[in-house]
Chains A and B, each alone.
Chain A
Amino acid sequence: MLLAASTHGYWNLQTLWFFLIVVLWTGYFVLEGFDFGVGMLTPAIGRTTAERGVLLRTIAPVWDGNEVWLLVAGGATFAAFPGWYASLFSGFYLALFIVLVGLIVRGVAIEYRNKREDDQWRRRWDYVHAGASAVPALLWGVALADVVHGVPTDAHGQVTADLLDLLGPYALFGGLTSLALFAFHGSIFLTLRTTGELEQRARRLSLRLAMPASALVLGFLVWTYVNAASAHNKGIVPGVIPIAAICAPFAAGALQRAGRTGLAFTATAVAIALTTLTLFLNLYPRVIVSSTNNAYSPTIWTTSSSHYTLTVMSVIALLFTPIVLLYQTWSYWVFRARVTGTDAPTPAQALAASPLGKSS
């Protein structure tokens, strides 16, 4: 496109913003990844409504803050790469719609589940939550795999794909990978955040998930690597990152078996982060790969905002991001204690049960 000539002079800012957006997506997948996992696994681990209520409480204070990472990723893409934002979301139209419905239903399930003291009401929302968590967990992987693997476009880089074009074998494999990895990540998170019987069940489930999740990550990244290597221009990622991404879930399984839950959780977080990074490195400097003709692929040069806007946004990101990280970390610190007890009690029940001080 015409932009290329006028924008090459400040490639540093465009590369910076490409990687800032990678950071936002990575943060989103790592944080909301365990939210999705908790949601999907809740019916499997929690046998009673009360137990499932405890599981939900492990993410209830933080899920909304985690989801903001997605909104900021969307907003930052709009501001820094309007052409990317436009092609991506109009091109993945129906898939994105399904993701949005999943996210909406899931948010409502989390927030409304305990608004009534009615066992059936809560049980229904628990299953809705599980289903609605699985949908985006699967489709984010599909979409990211498609972006990297290539979708049909016109000469201007506008995606012309149908829904079926987005469901190729590689993309579906990517979706299964994200689904399994998020479930594994969530099971370790639950081991870390619960006690007693629930903790034991979460641990057992995580050990069962370890192998399939690790195998899928291995298969998906090898496939990605083969794709990249066979298409000369498609960019080869630095070897150490995908190799570390492949090792991380295996390490998480071993650490979990050894009872080092904190480290195991770190390992699945690293696995998600490095898998995401591998895919984006494979993509760079393109923003969507055109399967029609690689030359049609929109790039960071053809889709970016002006130098002025990128500069302004850099200053703002520099100013606010550290503050956000600080208070979001603090919120995790405040809620660091393992969740115990039973389902959401009424105030009266809570008072009868707890003669504790008001402030801690």
Chain B
Amino acid sequence: MVRENLAAVDALDLARWQFAATTLYHFLFVPITIGLAWFLVGMQTAWYRSGEERWLRATRFFGKLFLINFALGVVTGIVQEFQFGMNWSDYSRYVGDVFGAPLAIEGLAAFFVESTFLGLWIFGWNHLRPKVHLAMVWLVAIGSTASAYFILAANSWMQHPVGYKLNPVTHRAEMTSIAKVMTNPTLVRAFGHTIAAAALTGSMLVLGVAAWHLRRRTDVRLFAPVARVSLWVTLAAAVATILLGHAQAQLMTKQQPMKMAAAEALYTTQKGAPFSLFALGPWQKYPNHNVASIAIPHGLSLLADNSWNGTVLGVNDIQRSEEQKYGPGNYRPIIGVTYWTFRIMAGLGFVAALVALVGLWLARVPGRLERSGRFHSVALWAIAIPLVANLAGWIFTEMGRQPWVVYGLLLTRRAVSPTVSAWWVGITLLGFTLLYGVLAAVEVKLMIGAVQTGPDPVGTYEPETKAIPALSY
């Protein structure tokens, strides 16, 4: 009996690791895909309207980078569609009535659009009229953005379940309103925040690649305007990500007070709560006080409640009230993880904005942005900023919701597949990790190769009577 229990715990932990590993890995590629897709839309539209060859060359150059990423986004997405059933079968049974719908709609309304029109875009250069071909890249961008909406609808329901009732006969959650699920206030904010972050991810990749080429003085006529545009997009996207993230956090304070209290390491409920800049607690998963703390007075009340002396609930008090509500148990997430991932995410958002501001400052003087080798290095390494921030954001929001898998409704430990042994989960976790590791190495190698090769030479597509080959076979 004891051994069985131990095995169950192991399978749960391993299943959580597997979900984290496969989903975070998948989410490296998703925001790049969405962000770059809109850059391709902009570049190809610019070519279509101006007829300038450099925009065609830019479209095809960044198109290659887009496709290298897209491939891994697609293949790792297959796992996402099936692993709820594989590792989380009790979850699937309990919430499938609500949660399955947005997933199915995503496939039907977004995946088909994305993949069919991407094929037409890649191979249709000589088969479609330029206007129709341009429409293909628009549809790819719209499809990938729409797919984010449906997936976030599913995730937002886990954060803040709406539009359902508990059926006492079937012992599961059943949908009562698809409209509520699809207009969940949590979803609306999460979507804005995520798409802004995707735009940031795409634009910092474009910026970094453009800076790399500016440094080598290859194709300045192409990469200088690309760098300028991406600087403005980076700034706008960083500001939007921060503001929308703030709106999301205010809502989260009301909907999941524990997550936000843990994000701030605020243990006791306070009026005029301070915003923590740096806190250290005792080295344990669930501490109940800080050892050291640097904080801005009244900062958190202002952020969370827009008021100087607003009350913000603390971890210890929320723990007490949740025990009264849901019965005895631990309702705290791992405070250290929540606190630091939140700070990494938010902090990197500001760093991204700062990079853009510095670049735009340099760009005031003609030719300076093109010559600043130091900024070029910064911009190249800054490609990693949004990627790390994206991962930190997901770790924060998913770990911060623990012990719940659906907040207030279903505990994570009740969601795991009862028939799947720890061995099996361990084997597949190892398998996915090895496979994904190899693929990451291949991907990075190809990306670097494609960046170094650079765009097709000037004049490749002129005069316009020549055929444009498919982008990749």
Contacts and interface: CB of A to CB of B under 8 A. Distances in A.
Interface in B425-448: 427-428, 431, 435, 439, 442, 446
A74 B469 contact: no
28 contacts: A5-B169, A61-B123, A64-B115, A64-B116, A64-B118, A68-B107, A78-B99, A78-B103, A83-B96, A86-B417, A97-B428, A97-B431, A104-B435, A107-B74, A107-B78, A111-B74, A112-B68, A305-B174, A309-B97, A309-B174, A312-B178, A316-B108, A324-B112, A331-B117, A334-B128, A351-B467, A354-B467, A355-B467
Contact of A351 (B167, B420, B427, B460): B460
A335 B424 CA distance: 43
Contacts of B86: 89-90, 93, 96-97
B72 A94 contact: no
A88 B466 CA distance: 53
B473 A60 contact: yes
A356 interface: yes
A93 B18 CA distance: 14
Contacts of A101: 431, 435
A16 interface: no
A53 interface: yes
4 closest residue pairs by CB, A with B: A82-B96, A89-B85, A79-B100, A111-B71
Contacts of B446: 112, 115-116
A292 interface: no
B107 A75 contact: yes
A348 B106 CA distance: 39
A278 interface: no
Nearest to A343: B473
A358 interface: yes
B96 A71 contact: no
Contact of B81 (A56, A74, A82, A108): A74
Nearest to A352: B466
B469 A347 contact: yes
Contact of A71 (B78, B99, B424): B78
A97 B167 CA distance: 33
B418 interface: yes
B444 to A, nearest CB: 12
Interface string A151-169: 0001000111000000000
Interface residues of A, number: 84
A96 B109 CA distance: 25
A117 B92 CA distance: 45
B420 A90 contact: yes
A356 B126 contact: yes
Contacts of B103: 75, 78-79
A158 to B, nearest CB: 5
B63 interface: no
A196 interface: no
Nearest to A1: B170
Nearest to A114: B473
B460 A60 contact: no
Given A78-B84, A82-B97, A87-B89, A61 B108 contact: no
A82 B84 CA distance: 10
Contacts of B89: 86-87, 89-90, 158
A337 B81 CA distance: 34
Interface in B184-243: none
B140 to A, nearest CB: 11
Nearest to B76: A104
B101 A312 contact: yes
Given A93-B424, A116-B446, 13 more contacts: A61-B119, A62-B119, A65-B115, A80-B100, A82-B92, A89-B86, A89-B89, A100-B79, A115-B450, A306-B175, A321-B108, A334-B127, A360-B126
A94 B424 contact: yes
A48 B115 CA distance: 29
Contacts of B117: 327, 331
B465 A357 contact: yes
Contacts of A312: 101, 175, 178
A313 interface: yes
Nearest to B101: A79
Given A89-B85, A94-B428, A64 B74 contact: yes
B294 interface: no
B449 A334 contact: no
A350 B472 CA distance: 12
Nearest to A359: B129
Given A65-B112, A88-B85, A358-B126, A100 B78 contact: yes
